[in-house]
Structure formats: C-alpha cells, structure tokens
Structure 1
Amino acid sequence: MVAVIQRSCLKGPIQVLILVFLLTGKSFASWLWLGVASVGTVSSPQEAEEMVCSVVPGLVTAQKTVCIKKPQTIVSVSEGARLGITECQKQFQRERWNCSTTDDDSVFGKILEQGNRETAFIYSVTTAGVVYAVTRACSAGNLTDCTCDREHGETHEEGWNWRGCSDNIHYAIGFSKTFVDAPDKAFKGDLLRSLMNLHNNEVGRKAIEEQMDIQCRCHGVSGSCNVKSCWKTMPHFPNVGDYLKTRYESSVELHPRAKKRLRRKDRKNRKVPINTTEMVYMDQSPNYCMEDTLNGVPGTSGRECNRTSLLADSCDLLCCGRGYNTQVVRYVERCGCKFIWCCYVKCNTCETMIDRYTCK
C-alpha cells in the first residue's frame, strides 16, 4: 500500500510531515519513518490529526493518542529521529555496517528484525535523538506543554533571586517513555526482544542525562564574578553519539532464556545486574561482508576503502579479504585566484591525480 501526505497551506505554528512510504506488514520501530520525512505546516491541530496520526505506518494506539493530543510534538519526534539516524551514519560510516537506510518496509530495512548489537545502537541513538529534540523545543518555547526547567537552576550566593533556566530534559524523558517505548510495551510477541528494546531506549536517555553540563553566568561590578548563577544544559549531540558508540563496543549479550528480567549470557557474570548504561543484544551480528538480501545486508562490494589505514575502513578489513580495485581519479579545480583591479578575479587551473580504492 502506498500512502502520501500532501502539503497543506503554510499557516499556523503546528507542523506536519510530508511522507511517502511503503507499508508491507509489521515492521520494528515504525515511528522512525518520521525521521525520513520532509517537514511542512498545517493550518490547525485537527488537520494535523487527520494527515499525520492516522497515516504514519505502524503507530500503536498509545502513539496515536499522543499524536492526536500533542501534534506539535510529532515535529520534534521527526527531528529527533533524523538526528539519531544521521549520527548513526556518522559513527559507522567507515565500517562494514554503515547504518544505511533502505527503501524497504522499515527505515533500516531488515536489520531491525534482528536483535543484534547494531539494532541495539539504533534504538539507543534514535531515542536519545527524540529526547534531545524535545528538550531543545521546550527550551526554545516551541511546545505549549513545557518550558525550560527553573527547578534546577543553582544560585551560588545567598540573597540573589535570579536563577538559571535549565534544559528541561525531565519532560523530554517522560515524553519519550510514553511515545518511543509504546510499541514494545504493547507488543505481545517475543518478550525478551521487547525487554531488550526498552532497555536500549533507556540507555539512549541516560546518555544525555549523564552528560548534562553546568553553565554559569557571572554577575557583579565591572564584570567581576562575585555572584554566579548556574543552570544545566545538554551536551552536543555528537558527544552523545561518541558515548553510545563506546557502549555499543562493550555491549552485553543476553541469556536467551531470560524471561522477566535481563540476564547476562556470560556464566561468570550472570548474577551481576545489567545497568542502564550498558547496551544489550540477543543475536549475533552477521559479518556484513557479502550481500544477503534475506537478512537485508548489502555487503561491502563497491565501498571505498583506505589502503593505508589500520582501522575499520582499511581495504583489508572493509573488503573482507576479497581485494580491491584501484582507480586513478583526476580532479580539476580553480586555484591561485587573485583579485585584479578593477574588477575581476583571475584563477589558475590546478589538476590533481588521486588514487581511489573500492572493494571487489
């Protein structure tokens, strides 16, 4: 089935998503379609309800309820999902799995049907993206249900009444638990997979919460800092991505027969509780070397590699031992430009020959 959301008149503050998608059965994290949508505007909340909440594929009842009651927050969800997808692609751009999106019935294709480490990262980073975008919208005054957080400003001098206004991460965390967690709270299938998804969502939330920073402003005569007021701000999102990538690299494999709570597969550490800063997975990852359409793996054939690197983007690792092709590419560009009085710019033409290596 093909559904299209058309652009409406550009009026009013509430935005709606213009989205083209294919819906061919159940897909995991279907709300991620909001991350690949264009953003427009509609003239009323009722129009947003009719055009978004009932058309975006795979939204469960709880998500539709949020969408209807708070259509303006769906724009922040879209921005957050896009933020997470972009950061995922940045973190894995030089690796065998490069976090590519697909034209399948899920934004990430069949990779989300597996409970591996890459799936864990996707859930964590996109949830973090939603928390980040909703928090930013609150602080900017773009949402009617929240503002910046005046509860957590700190005054470092008695008698000074002005308090900093912190980023309202607590509202965003609560919202993400209601919206992002909804499909797995409602899912009646594989309980372990749902517990895994919910846990990794929490890892994404903690990634921002634990990196909240304190910023201060000085008050005093001639710029002195006799009085200082402080408030909490979010980290830059690339820092969140770096944090989650380290959690991905040390992620915990789950015991396959765990039921009510998550348990480590490693027998020696099985009784050690899994905390909310540890990413978890239940399935082994494919090697991502060869194309596997059944599991949605595109393979690395044709990917550009680095012949002199010792990291994941090296031709040896990225090409999985298949070898690589060498191509000499000629770049022609303007160079040595000078301004001539009066009045034009004179440039030379520079030619550069660069070796380009692609996996066989």
Structure 2
Amino acid sequence: MVLACIKYCYPIRQRWLGVTSFGVPEKLGCTNLPLSARQKDLCKKKPYLIPSIREGARLGIQECRNQFKHERWNCSISPTVYTASSSLSLSFITSSLASAHTMFGYELSSGTKETAFISAVTAAGLVHSVTRSCSAGNMTECSCDTSLQNGGSASEGWHWGGCSDDLHYGMWFSRKFLDAPYKNASGKDSDVVNLMHLHNNEAGRQAVSKLMTVDCRCHGVSGSCAVKTCWKSMSSFDKIGSYLKDKYENSIQISDRLKRKVRRKEKNDRKIPIWKEDLVYTNKSPNYCVEDSKLGITGTHGRECNRTSDGPDSCNLLCCGRGYNTHVVRHVERCECKFVWCCYVRCRRCESMTDVHTCK
C-alpha cells in the first residue's frame, strides 16, 4: 500500500512547483494553476501571494541544481524544462503547464534522500520568498518584525532597529500551503509517505529560521561606532541550500511502518531521537550511473568530469568506473584591450586550448 502511494501520490501533491511555468500567474487566476483543491482554495483567498509562490518554487529548483551540479544525481530536470544554461529557460517561464512530476520524474516519487532534499529546499524557498515580500512592504498582512523594536542593550551601545525579517508569516503560509495536501480530511497525516514529506517540509523551514543572522550599522562621529542599530535578516538562499545539502548527506532512513511519528529503520537506533531539522527518507537511492528511461534517470553518460579531482565530480566517481573521453576545445576571445584616443578600443585575438573530459 505504501509503495503504491509512493508511485502515484507524489506527482499530484507536488504540482505546486509547476506555478513556475507561468510567466504572469497573477493574471491567470488560481483555477488554472497546478494545485491541489486545498491549495487552490488558499490561492483564491490570497491571490496576491502567487508571485511569491512562483518565486519560492524557482528558488528551490535552482538551488537544488546548484548544490548537486557536480554529482551523479544533478537534480536533473526534463530537457523540455531547462536549457543547457544554468538558469531557467524562457520557454519554461512562459510556457503553459509543467508539473513537478514532469520536472523531476523518478526522484519525486522515489521516497529517497533526493525526494527529501527536493521537499526541504522548496519549502525553504517558499518561506524565503514570502518573508522577502513581507519585508519589502508588498503585502498588507505582514511587514517587518516589530516585536524587536526598542530592545537591545544600552550599556553595550546597541539597539534593535531597521527592518528585521519576520519569519512568522512566511512559516505559517508555507505550512498552510505545502502541508495541507499531505493530511487527510481530519487534518491528520495518513501514512508514512505523508509523514516523511511533512517532516522534510518542516526541516526546510527550520533551516531558514536556524540560519537567521544579526546585521548592524554603526552610528557616531567619524564612524566611531559609538552606537549600533541591529536587525535580523535571513541568510542568502545559497547558504540555506548548503545547510540542507549537509542534512541530505546525513539523512536518516525511517521505518515504512506507520506509527505516531517517524522512527529510524534500524531497531537498535530507535532510541536516538530524530530532530525536526533532520532529513528523512524511506527508500535507498539508486546509483544514477546508467540511464533508465522508465524511471526518468538520465545516467552520467556525456557528463563533463574533472580528471584531477578527488570529489564527486571526479572522472572516476562521476563516470562510475566506465572511463572517459578527452576532447580538445579551442577558445577564442578578445584580450589585452586598450583604449585608443579618440575614440575606440583595440584588442588582440587570443586563443587557448583546453582539455574537456566527458564520461563514456
């Protein structure tokens, strides 16, 4: 029963990521967006949040690709969704519907560590984008965190001020929007797959909260910094992505038998608590070495590798022991440019040869 749900439930419940495929979603209305019934209802009540939902999905997808770009699983996206560039293609942004299942394929329905990371990073992306919108004054329901105002330490020469990022609304909306599809009509989770997704969603949100920083600005004569005004800010999303990548590396396999909460798969380790910041998964990952069109695994054939590296991007690891091909690539560019009076720039034409290694 659990395996059947793993195969068929995920594509439906992750469709919200498809909102990134709409160029101007606020003009299309909530009905046409790839959302669950509960998500559409919330969308209709708060249509002004659609740009933040779209931005949150974009943030999560792009950071996933950034964190895994040198590994066997490189957060691969359907070729129709992404171009060869590292950024979202124009066709993806402006095309009609592109569901999350179309984008991620196997990883979205596998219950693996990769599924866990996708859930966490996109949940974090939604918190980040909504909170940014609040701090920018784009919404009437939220703004800066005013609870900190007038606080601080006069004896130490600093006080709270400025516009602190207020996570409360972003965290609330992320839970309301992302967690609803994983709960049954009674409002409770119904199986271990849903428990896993709910846990990983929250882990992503906790990452944003845990990495909040304190920024300060000095005041005083000639920059003496006699007094400082400080405020709380969210970390950059690439820092949040790196934190979640570390959690991915240390993720915990859980039992596929439903209990009141997630439990470690190994019985001997069940007394060790699973913290809400941890990522959890049910199924082990494949090696992603060989293409499997049925599962949507692209394999590593043709991937560029680093012959001198000892990391995951090394030709030995990335090519899975199959070896690699070496191509010589010629680069031609303008160089040693000088301004000539008056009025043009004179450059030399420089050529260089580079060895490029690709997996067999």
TM-score range, shorter chain: 0.7 to 0.9
1:332 alignment counterpart: 332
**Match among 13, 21, 37 for residue 22 of structure 2:** 37
2:58 alignment counterpart: 82
2:123 alignment counterpart: 127
Decide whether the 8 Å contact of 1:292 with 1:299 is kept in 2.
yes
Instruction: Count residues with an aligned counterpart.
Output: 327
Instruction: Give how far 1:250 is off.
Output: 0.3
Between the aligned partners of 1:37 and 1:119, the Cα distance in structure 2 is 24
Q: Does 33-42 or 142-151 show the bigger shift?
A: 33-42
Decide whether the 8 Å contact of 1:152 with 1:232 is kept in 2.
no
Decide whether the 8 Å contact of 2:218 with 2:229 is kept in 1.
yes
Instruction: Give how far 1:161 is off.
Output: 9.2
Decide whether the 8 Å contact of 1:123 with 1:197 is kept in 2.
yes
Instruction: Give how far 1:33 is off.
Output: 0.7
Q: Percent identity?
A: 53
Higher relative contact order (CA 8 A, sep 6+): 2
Instruction: Give how far 1:259 is off.
Output: 2.5
Instruction: Give how far 1:227 is off.
Output: 3.8
1:354 and 2:354 correspond: yes
Structure 2's unaligned 5+ residue stretches are: 1-9, 81-97
Q: Does 294-303 or 266-275 show the bigger shift?
A: 266-275
Q: Which amino acid aligns with 2:154?
A: E
1:149 alignment counterpart: 145
Give the TM-score taking structure 2 as reference length.
0.85
Within a 5 Å distance, the mapping from 1:31-70 to structure 2 comes to 31-39=16-24, 42=27, 51-57=28-34, 59-70=35-46
Instruction: Give how far 1:226 is off.
Output: 4.1
1:249 and 2:249 correspond: yes
How big is each residue's C-alpha offset from its partner over 1:226-271, in whole Å with a ceiling of 9 and x where there is no partner? 4433221111111101100000000000012233210011222212
Shift in alpha-carbon separation, 1:27–1:177, aligned structure 2, 3 A: same
Decide whether the 8 Å contact of 2:72 with 2:299 is kept in 1.
yes
Between the aligned partners of 2:291 and 2:37, the Cα distance in structure 1 is 36
Q: Which amino acid aligns with 1:303?
A: R
- SS of 1:316's equivalent in the other structure is helix
Shift in alpha-carbon separation, 1:29–1:146, aligned structure 2, 3 A: same
How big is each residue's C-alpha offset from its partner over 1:207-231, in whole Å with a ceiling of 9 and x where there is no partner? 0101111122344555444443322
Within a 5 Å distance, the mapping from 1:250-289 to structure 2 comes to 250-289=250-289
Between the aligned partners of 1:138 and 1:123, the Cα distance in structure 2 is 23
1:117 and 2:102 correspond: no
Decide whether the 8 Å contact of 2:72 with 2:300 is kept in 1.
yes
Between the aligned partners of 1:209 and 1:166, the Cα distance in structure 2 is 13
Within a 5 Å distance, the mapping from 1:173-184 to structure 2 comes to 173-184=171-182
Q: Which amino acid aligns with 1:56?
A: L
1:92 alignment counterpart: 68
Decide whether the 8 Å contact of 2:127 with 2:167 is kept in 1.
yes
Q: Which amino acid aligns with 1:133?
A: S
Shift in alpha-carbon separation, 1:64–1:339, aligned structure 2, 3 A: same
Q: Which amino acid aligns with 2:153?
A: H
- SS of 1:151's equivalent in the other structure is helix
Within a 5 Å distance, the mapping from 1:147-296 to structure 2 comes to 147-153=143-149, 154-157=151-154, 163-186=161-184, 191-220=191-220, 223-296=223-296
Instruction: Give how far 1:333 is off.
Output: 1.1
Structure 1's unaligned 5+ residue stretches are: 1-24, 43-50
How big is each residue's C-alpha offset from its partner over 1:259-309, in whole Å with a ceiling of 9 and x where there is no partner? 321001122221222111111000110100001112111111111111111
How big is each residue's C-alpha offset from its partner over 1:22-45, in whole Å with a ceiling of 9 and x where there is no partner? xxx953411011234324664xxx
RMSD, aligned α-carbons = 2.3
Runs of 4+ in 1 over 6 A off after TM superposition: 187-190
Instruction: Give how far 1:344 is off.
Output: 1.8
Q: Which amino acid aligns with 1:141?
A: G
1:302 alignment counterpart: 302
Instruction: Give how far 1:352 is off.
Output: 0.9
**Match among 67, 73, 77 for residue 101 of structure 1:** 77
Instruction: Give how far 1:195 is off.
Output: 0.4
Q: Which amino acid aligns with 1:55?
A: N
Decide whether the 8 Å contact of 1:157 with 1:228 is kept in 2.
no
Q: Does 185-194 or 148-157 show the bigger shift?
A: 185-194
Decide whether the 8 Å contact of 2:256 with 2:282 is kept in 1.
yes
